[in-house]
Structure 1
Amino acid sequence: METVDQTFEEYPPFLRIHNDGTIERLVGTQTVPPSPLSDAGISSKDVVISPNVSARLYIPHSALSSTKKLPTLVYFHGGGFIIESPFSPHYHPYQDSLAAKAGVIIVSVNYRLAPEHRLPTSYDDSWEAIKWTVGLSDEWLRDHADLDRLFFAGDSAGGNIVHQMAMRTSPSEIRLRGVVLVHPFFWGPNLSDTEKEQIGFVDMVWRLVSPDVGIMQSHWVNWEAERATPLTKLGCQRVMLCVAELDFLNKKGKEYYEALKESGWEGMVELVETEGEDHVFHLFKPDCEKARVFMEQVASFLNQG
């Protein structure tokens, strides 16, 4: 009698791991193509950075026929390190709109995902994409990127990646102007009641991402962990830390903001809180008024100074 493959581990709502080791992602797998010219006036294309890393590039179409140099943003998507990509129906429209609103070049990074590729793979892939960007490895970058106005941004797990990349950045090598951390994934002790309600979910995700180190002890999500590098090493001049009022990660985001202010880091940090909204609301409700206001805030940050 033929044996039917049975799922032996489920991680709702993200994925199943079958008993033959096959990973079945339940969400975050849909893709949309790039556009030579979008309704917002943006050209986008996909590029291969290395055998393991790719990206989708965005540029205002009008810039292609000029010599104007533009601020350059390297963006890291969210999805708990286990789902999503720059090519998804959530991220592609957002990047297209942000490139148009801010007038910037965007390099939206497609890094490898857990559990097939556990941390620090996502960090290493993201760093590879940064080096590729500052190496001006594409004609759009060579002709139009202003690396004196270089920014990193990301949401959720991508916000965590932004922090890690800024900590790796040396101002003597990369002139990082600023970073935008949107609803970043940080964790650690002194949990609020709201955070305690999410312990099961967070632990489930973490077992997929980094099973060898407990989340409370991981310097990747807890900047106060024993191996963590002091926040004074953050390699940029400005930080925009964004939280949403109803997001269970709200408290940890605000704690990061306060810790950075008190660390002795010499840059400028601002806190942006969106009232009445939840985690990455701007991706799921891009046409709402608060998402519009939030995009204007991010665009303004990318064009300051």
Structure 2
Amino acid sequence: MDGATGVFARLYVPDLAAAGSDSQRKKLPILVYFHGGGLVLASAASPTYHRYLNSVASKANVLAVSVNYRLAPEHPIPAAYDDSWAALSWAASRDDPWLSEHGDAGRIFLAGDSGGANIVHNIAIMAGTRDGLRLPPAQKGVDDPWFNPMAPGAPSLQKLACRRLLVCSADGDFALPRAAAYYQAVKASGWRGTVEWLESKGGEHVFFLNKPECDEALQLMDQVVAFLAGN
């Protein structure tokens, strides 16, 4: 994707052969996924994310773009957000032949877990401004606007450039209070889109990645697939 920065993406394509002839196939939604790891760990190439994106692409019938952005501390914030913005722009341009032939640029979804969910928020805010988001490098710890969407000085949540938003957590997730606060803040912001809350019972942080075959993970996958299929 970018030889200068080393940023790349892995593209997951559903079984297009089962969709009929070229003339019968409809363009598929594009899911741009940002892996978790607190912006300092993990990779789009890890077996965990490879397995998950394969499953999502197959079950939801979407083209999935799994982004490998640069990590801190070697690449301080906002490098991860700059890379993720570049990845979204690349996916939307459909320069890749698979995306050009099979992807619907009018139906792009952003998704991520843990630190990747933070990226989703910031990229959605960037897309809601004409020139992208302009914030200085992170200097205020956990209350920096990059990390806390409700912090003083954070961009208005009304700028979220999407029509629908699904916020997921679990009753055993240490990040549940922050996720719930974000959901409530979006609801109260005056944003014109539709926000949904999904709290899985019996799960912990990123349980759907660590235990993909458990009942809670299978239920969550069904709900994510239903969300991606919605209008």
TM-score normalised over the length of structure 2: 0.91
The residue aligned with 2:70 is: 112
Q: Which has the higher helix share?
A: 2
Alignment equivalent of 2:151, drawn from 201, 218, 225? 225
Alignment of 1:232-271 (within 5 A): 232-271=158-197
**How far 1:116 moved relative to its partner?**
0.2
The answer to whether residue 161 in structure 2 is matched with residue 161 in structure 1 is no
Distance in 1, Cα, partners of 2:147 & 2:34: 16
Structure 2 unaligned segments of length 5 or more: list them: 132-136
Alignment of 1:12-23 (within 5 A): none
Percent of pairs with identical residues: 48
Distance in 2, Cα, partners of 1:222 & 1:113: 19
Is the CA contact 1:49–1:129 (under 8 Å) kept in the aligned structure 2? Answer: no
Higher relative contact order (CA 8 A, sep 6+): 2
TM-score normalised over the length of structure 1: 0.69
Alignment of 1:8-47 (within 5 A): none
Alignment equivalent of 2:203, drawn from 268, 273, 277? 277
The residue aligned with 2:141 is: 214
Larger-gyration structure (1/2): 1
Is the CA contact 1:241–1:253 (under 8 Å) kept in the aligned structure 2? Answer: yes
The answer to whether residue 47 in structure 2 is matched with residue 89 in structure 1 is yes
**How far 1:232 moved relative to its partner?**
0.5
Distance in 1, Cα, partners of 2:130 & 2:15: 32
Q: Give 4+ residue runs of structure 1 displaced > 4 Å after superposition.
A: none
Paired amino acid for 2:183: Y
**How far 1:214 moved relative to its partner?**
2.6
The residue aligned with 1:78 is: 36
Paired amino acid for 1:80: G
Taking only aligned residues, the RMSD between alpha carbons, in angstroms, comes to 2.0
Paired amino acid for 2:175: L
Is the CA contact 2:9–2:68 (under 8 Å) kept in the aligned structure 1? Answer: yes
Paired amino acid for 2:166: M
Distance in 2, Cα, partners of 1:223 & 1:213: 13
Structure 1 unaligned segments of length 5 or more: list them: 1-47, 174-208
**How far 1:227 moved relative to its partner?**
2.2
Number of positions where the alignment pairs a residue of Structure 1 with one of Structure 2: 222
Distance in 1, Cα, partners of 2:141 & 2:219: 37
C-alpha spacing 1:219/1:294, structure 2 compared with 1 (3 Å): same
